[in-house]
Structure 1
Amino acid sequence: MCSPLALLHLQAQGKGETFRSCQAGRLPAAGWERAAGRATQGDARLVFQLPLSSPVTESASRRAREQQLFQRPPRGRLRVRGTVRPASPPARRWQEGRAPWLPAMSLASGPGPGWLLFSLGMGLVSGSKCPSKCQCLVQEVTCTGMQLTEYPPDIPLNTRRLYLDDNDITFLPAMDLGLLSDLVYLDCRSNLIGEVMDYTFVGVFKLIYLDLSSNNLTSISPYGFSMLGHLVHLNISNNPRLSSLNRYTFANTSSLRYLDLRNTGLRTLDHAAFQGLLTLHTLYLSGNPWRCNCSFLDFTIYLIVAHLNHPDALNATCVAPVELAGWPIAQVGNPLRYMCITHLDRQDYLFLLLIGFCIFSAGTVAAWLTGMCAVIYQNSRRKSSETEDEDENGQPVGVSRQIFKSRADSVHDGFPQLI
């Protein structure tokens, strides 16, 4: 039976008859080795003909075959399975180390290069497998309705369209998903995925279509879609446990044209989350318990000025407050602006009355305190002035002056005045 690498090599060389014979099992191991040797006689690409699956002594002779195969032949000759053949010009260039596609190797380097090529070959083979329970076409893998509980392994690395819908997958591994660098279409609807983390889609930067509808999403990381700069279609509808979206959720999805947010638990949206979506054309918002309060005003104004296509505009209605219940959110901008900016309700008047009463009470108390302070100050000043007017004997200065004046008058009466 032929090894996978031998089949790939024979197919690449265009040896259709030999390839079909080897694939059907009509050639033994030595037979396909000789056929491969004849097909690539004098060609340096013989190094990729490592027989990986010998029927009898595979594990015992693998190292010996590798050392024999990767040993550099003498200059001017090429060793093929123990026979020495004249080397072709490409082989001579390979011997001289001038081939740009293969580094020079020698026995002094040990089995390292051999194992490197072996690992490379195994990686290429494993990347071309098809997961069990899935159907694989050219660059397309379909795993729809296979009751998968986890992300399927062994998905071909060149896959561009991946269908994982109608399963029970709870988590998208970033490491496995990031290997699909050419992926442009990912359908994960009707699963049990609970969250989108920062690094979930870090490797699939070419993704154009992403469907996460009908899952159990409870949160989407602020930077969960930050690497999806080419994303055009995003569907996260029918996730009733998703109650909020961060303002940076769509920060880097500048190519987004279709966004479906129907039937989620969203109650409000920050208009800043949509500022970078300059190419957004279609937006679905129905089936959500929108609370059209003053914090929702900026988003309603955005809906008015952005001129987006709302196919479900009449079904996207407010549930609160009572005055706006049943109003389409695309038409609630002006009434909400009147309520939040120019209109004063009963609570506002009560608040103003309370503020006026507080100001009046504060002014009255301040005036009373000022009067009391003035009276106390006057009394203290009068007492201090009376204390300063007392003489040394403790009598008031006014009484002493009267006694001195009466004595002076009596003296003037007893003696004549001299002219």
Structure 2
Amino acid sequence: YLSLSHHFLPNPATPLSQPMPRCCSAMILNPFLVAMAVAFTSAVTGCPVLCTCHSQVVDCSGQRLFSVPPDLPLDTRNLSLAHNRITTIPPGYLTCYVELRVLDLRNNSLAELPAGLFLMTRRLAHLDLSYNNFSHVGADMFQEAHSLVRINLGHNPWLRKVHPQAFQGLAQLRDLDLSYGGLSFLSLEALEGLPGLVTLQIGGNPWVCSCTMEPLLKWLRNRIQRCMSDSQLAECRAPPEVEGAPLFSLTEESFKACHLTLTLDDYLFIAFVGFVVSIASVATNFLLGITANCCHRWSKASEDEEI
């Protein structure tokens, strides 16, 4: 202590107003800078147990994890949690990872995502949610994930519903995979807000090719440039007259019955036929009643004669 004090005391021959040399300031501040640097480095480079980390890629796939690993490196760009047994993701889990570009959650047991999961991951471009247990895609599922280019929701066998605003605000989305789920209907509104959509995979779903499907098919023919050889996999499950038919083989003629309109003459004819049928029904019931009454009297008269 005395030795250090001796070096830091100003020279009596030096005026007190002279500033302290830079090396002295550096010696005082260095311990704090080193401590901060060490703390920052450990936060950035620390790798979770059972995961491997290299060049901003964190791979935790195939580790039989039941929950997501905590404390990922802050500069993570590619995160793989595939082939595990994860059932839930905590709210705000991705808040600190603003550099995240790729998130792979395929082949887990996820049934839903917490609201606002992607609020801070503004650079997320690729999201894989395939082979999970999602039953619906909500309106706020991808909230604020405006940089998404690809979403894979394929092979979710319980997926029955996609909200009309599920993909709202995803103007950069190019590839959307909804194949091999339980979808029987998809609202046109869910796709109209995707100007950059190029690839849409919808095969392997039990589509109901009724009149409600016509707007979607018409839009697909006009907007989608290619369907990744998916057109032959998309088949109608109902109604019976088109069961097994490729979805994209349906034409405007297939939906001709959906556009039939009735004229005034048609309504008058239907009213006349209904009136005639009603009169005929009343007359038939009247005749049947008379016949039954006569039969009853004849039977009673026969019994009286025998007595």
TM-score category of the 2 structures, normalised to the smaller one? 0.7 to 0.9
Query: Which consecutive unaligned segments of at least 5 residues does structure 1 have?
Result: 1-41, 43-73, 78-85, 96-113, 345-349, 362-419
The aligned counterpart of 1:323 is 241
How far the C-alpha of 1:328 sits from its partner, in A, is 1.7
User: Are 1:162 and 2:79 counterparts?
Assistant: yes
CA distance in 1 between partners of 2:267 and 2:112 (Å): 44
Give the counterpart of 1:132 among 42, 49, 68: 49
231, 238, 263: which one pairs with 1:313?
A: 231
Amino acid at match of 1:246: H
Q: Which has the higher helix share?
A: 1
Q: Give the Cα–Cα distance (whole angstroms) in 2 for the partners of residues 122 and 88 of structure 1.
A: 25
Hey, what's the Cα distance between the residues in 2 that align with 1:145 and 1:288? Answer: 28
Does the CA contact (< 8 Å) of 2:139 and 2:166 recur in 1?
yes
* 2:135–2:158 Cα contact (<8 Å) kept: yes
Whole-Å Cα distance in 1 between the matches of residues 268 and 129 of structure 2?
49
Q: Does 1:260 align with 2:157?
A: no
Deviates most, 352-361 or 282-291:
352-361
Q: Residue 229 of structure 1: CA displacement?
A: 1.1
CA distances 1:123-176 after superposition (whole Å, capped 9, x unpaired): 653343100000000111001101111110120010000111000111222322
Residue 122 (structure 1) shift: 4.2
> Match for 2:256 among 314, 323, 338?
338
Higher relative contact order by CA 8 Å / sep ≥ 6: 1 or 2?
2
TM-score, normalising length: structure 2: 0.74
Question: SS of the counterpart of 1:210?
Answer: strand
Contact 2:64 2:83 in 1 (8 A): yes
Distance of 2:108 and 2:17 partners within structure 1 = 61
Q: How many residues align?
A: 257
Native 8 Å contact 1:232 1:256 kept in 2: yes
Give the greater-gyration-radius structure (CA): 1
Greater mean alpha carbon deviation, residues 126-135 or residues 138-147: 126-135
Q: Does 1:211 align with 2:128?
A: yes
Unaligned runs of 5+ in 2: 1-7, 9-15, 278-307
Deviates more, 1:286-295 or 1:169-178: 169-178
Pair 1:143-2:50 in alignment: no
CA gap 1:221/1:197 in 2 versus in 1, 3 angstroms: farther
2:12 pairs with 1:87: no
For residues 189 and 251 of structure 2, the distance between their equivalents in structure 1, rounded to whole angstroms, comes to: 16
Distance 1:75 1:240 in 2: 79
Alignment of 1:23-172 (within 5 A): 87-88=21-22, 91=25, 122=39, 125-172=42-89
Question: Which residue number in structure 2 is paired with residue 228 of structure 1?
Answer: 145
Looking at structure 1, the residues matched to 17 and 271 of structure 2 have their Cα atoms a distance apart, in angstroms, of 101
